[in-house]
Chains A and B, each alone.
Chain A
Amino acid sequence: MIKIELTIDPTKSVYEQLLSQVEVFRPVTAPVTVSVVDEDYPNVQPTPTPKPKRTRKTATLEQVATKTIVTAMTLPDPNQQDSADETAEVASDVLTHDDVRSVVGDYTKRFGIAAAQKKIPVILGCPIADIPDDQESLQAAIDKIQNEMSDGPDVIEDTPLFADDLEDEVTEQDVRDALMLYAKTYDVDAKMTNTLIDGPEILKKTFGPSVTALRLIPKDPASYKKALKAITEATEQNWFKRNKLKVV
């Protein structure tokens, strides 16, 4: 028995990963077997069988009727479309704006999108869509970008425009959970007496006197983040000098 284990990154396309993982099992050619149950089928051919055993009995009528056609057929490559596209690209000598787009795509992969947004219009002297639709202009545009790539410095990481946004998003549920943690830490029973007093105070200190409940927090990730930070701090630093419960 052969055991096969696959490691799959849940953040990426399952389909692509599974296909690439099982690529090694894919035969280049394989017979495709089509069952035929119709006795009138005119071109029935026997299935190629291994050496017959001595004990083999004569085929019954049903067995004869259920013969198969074996057609050698090349299985399509998993990246058939890509290969076809690449072949077509190679075959085609006519440049289009799509070729310029491809080179710009390479540029962004190397220098980042932010850098491309700034530099590509400068390099080309115009937006990509405004490049005249003639072979000379398109070739010149491609050459300019490729020269810039070859002359340019080493690969630069793409710096996010708004780094804060790339952190995990904080939701209302996260704030609610933090408040429950506060209650578990400083309240003795399910009535949450201390939390009902302290919670509004924390929110008022953070957002001003008008925000006294979770539902009044502005509904955006930044505000939730602010609220979460305040409640976490209140829990850790015991803002209101409550007696901490002993965890059994």
Chain B
Amino acid sequence: MIPMPTQLSGAKFLAQRHRALLADEPRVGKTGAAIIAADMIIAKRIDVVTTASGRAVWRRGFISWGKINRSIGIVGLDKNAVNCDVRIFSYNGATKFTPNRINDLVILDESHNCKNPESQRTKALLGKAVSGGLYLHNENSFVKTSTRAWFLTGTPLPHDPSDIWTTLRSSCPERLLADNTRGWPDVTRFEDFRHRYCKVYMKKVSNWKRIPVVVSGRNETELRERLGDFMLRRTQQDIGLRPPVYELFPLIISESVRNNLFTQVAKVAILVAAEQNDTHTLDLHLGPLRRLTGAIKAEAVAGAVKEEFDNGLKKIVLMYWHKEVGDILQDRLSAFNPLRIDGSTSAKDREHYESVFAKRDEHQVMLGQIQAAGEAVDFSAANELWFVEQSFSPKDMAQAAMRITNVNQAQNTFVRVCYIEGSIDEAVQATLLRLFTAIKGVIE
């Protein structure tokens, strides 16, 4: 993998710092940059804490980006993962884990998950703030005072400026001190920080209780100057529009479910058929499994999509094959007001949904049956499309992917093919992805 110039500069930024915040916009390439930086400092023992759906992505990232051979394990999933060089944790997993070794590096991916100083998660990872933040007890946390730690997030301030206090308090408390020459007060304590950089009013919830509610920010310039070179942020515009990125997206499914699914299939025949685009043989061997596999993948995808929205994604298109898979996705993602186009959708409704998806922000998810929604619609309001299931015909895939990778698209686009990690599904999806990417190159 050849890094983009922005990834290299991001990697250098991280490698030159003991603590740093890489706040590039989503999809600018933070994961690759962090792994390159880890190589630059020749880190061996690395703990990565990420979202549940991000764990497999990081494992794949270390394999594809890393130039140093390290053993990699997902804690809670892989046997002996705690003894691996690179240990990958979910936030929930890390909260329950007692850090038991000295690391060369800790990477907190989507670090805005530690924004609340009172949460158990923040205490386990960054330490416990005492006396309102005047002291920090981090001897038993993942990120100790001596730990080299990098924070990655596309949304460093998901709600208001006070969200970044935990990161600054744990990593660069000197930046929170008073600077009389500039007229900056000491904001080491959380409440001082919040009142300095946020407009807060006390909302009455009962006769005896009032809670602080942030209504807007203030002194933003001062906060930006305090952050200084601790944070680096680039936008998608900074890296320029690039050709669509096609990648595989691993889904973590429990081993027992995975084994039960795939024990009986003729793996070699399937792979040869996929390579030769022999859809008949693929149907013969995988047909009965596809519906079941799709349903299992849909559950995992729904969780991953929720996390992507938490991490700053605005809209997404999900392509599926089976009606049941569409039903599951529609149900699990109902909070995001999904729109759905399948074979039963009338031409008038198709047009209406397309228009609504483009214009209204509350509709964040578009569900499309690969064939029915693969033509004559424009979903370029989203710049990310996931294939929850694949068609065995690469042409269907290529056409469906063009719903976002078209001339109306003003952002970088990403097409992800979801697969069940460590199964025959992984190999089949990889082969089909290559085929459909090649076809797409021809027909575009």
Q: Which residues of A contact B (CB under 8 A)?
A: 4, 6, 13-15, 18-19, 21-22, 25-27, 30, 32-34, 73-76, 78, 80-81, 85, 88-89, 96-98, 101-102, 104-105, 108-109, 113-114, 116-117, 120, 127-130, 161-162, 165-169, 219-222
The reply to whether the CB of B277 lies closer than 8 angstroms to some CB of chain A is: yes
A97-B8, A130-B16, A165-B83 known; 6 new pairs, CB 8 Å cut-off, are: A22-B272, A73-B438, A81-B1, A98-B2, A116-B42, A220-B100
B438 near A97 with CB under 8 A, answer no
Interface positions of B from 240 to 279, Cβ below 8 Å from A: 267-268, 271-272, 275-277
A161 to B70, CA, bound (A): 13
B98 near A117 with CB under 8 A, answer no
Asked whether A18 and B435 contact (CB < 8 A) given A120-B42, A127-B40, the answer is: no
Q: Mark B81-101, 1 if CB is under 8 A from A, else 0.
A: 011010000000000001011
The reply to whether the CB of B112 lies closer than 8 angstroms to some CB of chain A is: no
Which of A19, A127, A167 sits near B271, CB closer than 8 Å? A19
B8 near A127 with CB under 8 A, answer no
A113 near B68 with CB under 8 A, answer yes
Which of B100, B276, B442 sits near A73, CB closer than 8 Å? B442
Interface positions of B from 1 to 33, Cβ below 8 Å from A: 1-3, 8, 11-12, 15-16
B277 near A105 with CB under 8 A, answer no
Residues in chain B near residue A26, CB distance under 8 A:
275
A34 near B395 with CB under 8 A, answer yes
The reply to whether the CB of B323 lies closer than 8 angstroms to some CB of chain A is: no
The reply to whether the CB of B41 lies closer than 8 angstroms to some CB of chain A is: yes
Which of B222-230, B405-413, B424-432 lies on the face that meets chain A? B424-432
Which of B2, B42, B268, B393 sits near A108, CB closer than 8 Å? B42
Asked whether A98 and B3 contact (CB < 8 A) given A25-B275, A105-B39, the answer is: yes
Which of B45, B268, B276, B430 sits near A6, CB closer than 8 Å? B268
A30 near B277 with CB under 8 A, answer yes
Q: List the 7 closest A-B pairs by CB distance, nearest first.
A: A105-B67, A129-B15, A15-B426, A128-B40, A113-B44, A76-B434, A18-B427
Q: Who on chain B is nearest to A34 by CB?
A: B395
7 inter-chain pairs at a CB distance below 8 angstroms, sorted by A residue, are A4-B268, A15-B430, A21-B268, A76-B438, A116-B42, A167-B83, A222-B100
The reply to whether the CB of B80 lies closer than 8 angstroms to some CB of chain A is: yes
A114 to B63, CA, bound (A): 20
The reply to whether the CB of B36 lies closer than 8 angstroms to some CB of chain A is: yes
The reply to whether the CB of B69 lies closer than 8 angstroms to some CB of chain A is: yes
Q: Mark B367-397, 1 if CB is under 8 A from A, else 0.
A: 0000000000000000000000000011100
Q: Which of B15, B79, B80, B83 has the most CB of A within 10 A?
A: B83
B40 near A221 with CB under 8 A, answer no
Which of A33, A34, A75, A85 sits near B2, CB closer than 8 Å? A85
Residues in chain A near residue B287, CB distance under 8 A:
none
The reply to whether the CB of B303 lies closer than 8 angstroms to some CB of chain A is: no
Number of cross-chain contacts by CB at 8 Å:
134
B435 near A129 with CB under 8 A, answer no
The reply to whether the CB of B147 lies closer than 8 angstroms to some CB of chain A is: no
B275 near A22 with CB under 8 A, answer yes
Which of A19, A32, A117, A220 sits near B44, CB closer than 8 Å? A117
Interface positions of B from 278 to 337, Cβ below 8 Å from A: none
A127 near B16 with CB under 8 A, answer yes
A24 to B394, CA, bound (A): 22
B8 near A169 with CB under 8 A, answer no
Q: Who on chain A is nearest to B266 by CB?
A: A4
Count the B residues whose beta carbon is within 8 Å of the partner chain — how many? 54
Q: Who on chain A is nearest to B39 by CB?
A: A101
Residues in chain B near residue A14, CB distance under 8 A:
422-424, 426-427
Q: Who on chain A is nearest to B78 by CB?
A: A11
Asked whether A13 and B63 contact (CB < 8 A) given A104-B42, A117-B44, A127-B16, the answer is: yes
Residues in chain A near residue B70, CB distance under 8 A:
113
Q: Who on chain A is nearest to B274 by CB?
A: A22
Asked whether A109 and B69 contact (CB < 8 A) given A22-B271, A117-B42, the answer is: yes
CB distance from B162 to the nearest CB of A (A): 32
A129 to B34, CA, bound (A): 13
Residues in chain B near residue A33, CB distance under 8 A:
277
Residues in chain A near residue B15, CB distance under 8 A:
127-129
Residues in chain A near residue B66, CB distance under 8 A:
105
A114 to B424, CA, bound (A): 36
Which of B36, B37, B427 sits near A15, CB closer than 8 Å? B427
A75 near B435 with CB under 8 A, answer yes
B271 near A129 with CB under 8 A, answer no
B3 near A165 with CB under 8 A, answer no
Residues in chain B near residue A168, CB distance under 8 A:
80
A97 near B427 with CB under 8 A, answer no
CB distance from A141 to the nearest CB of B (A): 12
Residues in chain B near residue A162, CB distance under 8 A:
101
Q: Who on chain A is nearest to B394 by CB?
A: A32
The reply to whether the CB of B116 lies closer than 8 angstroms to some CB of chain A is: no
A98 near B63 with CB under 8 A, answer no
Residues in chain B near residue A19, CB distance under 8 A:
271, 427, 430-431
Q: Who on chain A is nearest to B60 by CB?
A: A13
The reply to whether the CB of B437 lies closer than 8 angstroms to some CB of chain A is: yes
B434 near A113 with CB under 8 A, answer no
Residues in chain A near residue B395, CB distance under 8 A:
34
A223 to B44, CA, bound (A): 25
Residues in chain B near residue A220, CB distance under 8 A:
98, 100
A166 to B80, CA, bound (A): 9
B435 near A105 with CB under 8 A, answer no
CB distance from B63 to the nearest CB of A (A): 7
A151 to B253, CA, bound (A): 48
CB distance from A106 to the nearest CB of B (A): 8
A116 to B67, CA, bound (A): 13
CB distance from B280 to the nearest CB of A (A): 10
A113 to B276, CA, bound (A): 41
B68 near A105 with CB under 8 A, answer yes
Asked whether A166 and B83 contact (CB < 8 A) given A19-B430, A96-B8, A104-B42, the answer is: yes
A27 near B12 with CB under 8 A, answer no
